[in-house]
A = this chain, B = another copy of it.
């Protein structure tokens, strides 16, 4: 690199969650020129997020970029929650790029730069659902993946602490589910009797993981509150070694998550192959979901990369933040 990337920069994008903050420097075509990561998530700031904590973190991570050049700034994630820098009210489903771009909420930094916060999505009803940050990843996937963009029916999985499964119909996010699979796995392992019998895995035990998936699928009728106890009883009866129990439990929970989605699809007359599928997020976690979907449904589900970057750039462009140069690209 013999040229300073800041010279061709057109946008700063922030991926700002509860535990981390990532900053991207984009050119006018959406290429990432540079990126930086810090642990300054909105829940880990030394000062309250809305009382200078976010401003400090933003200045620390991006101050030199802004010193060199005035740039528009967009941010997505929990930074827009009540606990964040400034609340960006949820946009209701169904929604595509346009209402998210219209819903950007600016907050003025100490340096005098407006940071434009992407609103989250809300699906109302008996089981309301909310997301903050994932809407940007889903839009990023749609703009960057031809098969997804062209599909009349896409279903995107975003595994994590709270896994999201997002239905995109006719280019719009119509509805989504939140499965607390990751967080439930963590507390079962750390704080219940199931964890007491476990030993740390010496290596990934894929067979134990898939055994859990199968149990959820073939013996899951009574529900996950019943099947999880088998982690302990298979151990007690000498049928599941202590080092494999965590992988088995992970497979059980992910298996129940996928069985829940199967039930939803089936009630609507659909099968999995009726949907264009994709997985977004942490690679090792996506790998588990890929394995489970291949094993239980015979599906080969692609993993989609750099969706946050694509999403941030395209929402900013849709909102006109890039000015004339960006709008032409």
Is the CB–CB distance between B192 and A180 below 8 Å?
yes
Q: Which A127-171 residues have C-beta < 8 A from chain B?
A: 127-130, 162
Known: A127-B230, A187-B188, A227-B127. A260 touches B178 (CB 8 A): no
CB A231 to nearest CB in B, in angstroms, measures 10
Residue of B nearest to A122 (CB): B237
Is the CB–CB distance between A233 and B129 below 8 Å?
yes
Q: Which A223-242 residues have C-beta < 8 A from chain B?
A: 223-230, 233-234, 236-237, 239
Query: Contacts of A130 on B, CB cut-off 8 Å?
Result: 233, 236
Is the CB–CB distance between B229 and A178 below 8 Å?
yes
Residue of B nearest to A163 (CB): B225
Query: Contacts of A181 on B, CB cut-off 8 Å?
Result: 225
Categorize the interface residue count of chain A.
35 or more
From B215, B223, B264, A260 is in contact (CB under 8 Å) with B223
Residue of B nearest to A266 (CB): B221
B interface footprint on A209-221 (CB within 8 Å = 1, 0 otherwise) = 0000001001101
**A207, CB-defined interface residue at 8 Å:** no
From B183, B228, B229, A129 is in contact (CB under 8 Å) with B229
Q: Which A75-134 residues have C-beta < 8 A from chain B?
A: 122, 124, 126-130
| A236-B178 Cα distance, complex, nearest whole Å | 15
Known: A187-B187, A187-B192, A236-B130. A180 touches B215 (CB 8 A): no
Q: Which A175-205 residues have C-beta < 8 A from chain B?
A: 177-181, 183-184, 187-188, 190-194
Query: Contacts of A234 on B, CB cut-off 8 Å?
Result: 128
Chain-B contact segment, one of A23-31, A251-259, A271-279: A251-259
8 intermolecular pairs with C-beta atoms under 8 Å apart: A127-B219, A128-B234, A177-B226, A180-B229, A187-B187, A223-B257, A223-B259, A225-B256
Q: A residues within 8 Å of B by Cβ?
A: 122, 124, 126-130, 162, 177-181, 183-184, 187-188, 190-194, 215, 218-219, 221-230, 233-234, 236-237, 239, 253, 256-257, 259-261, 263-264, 267
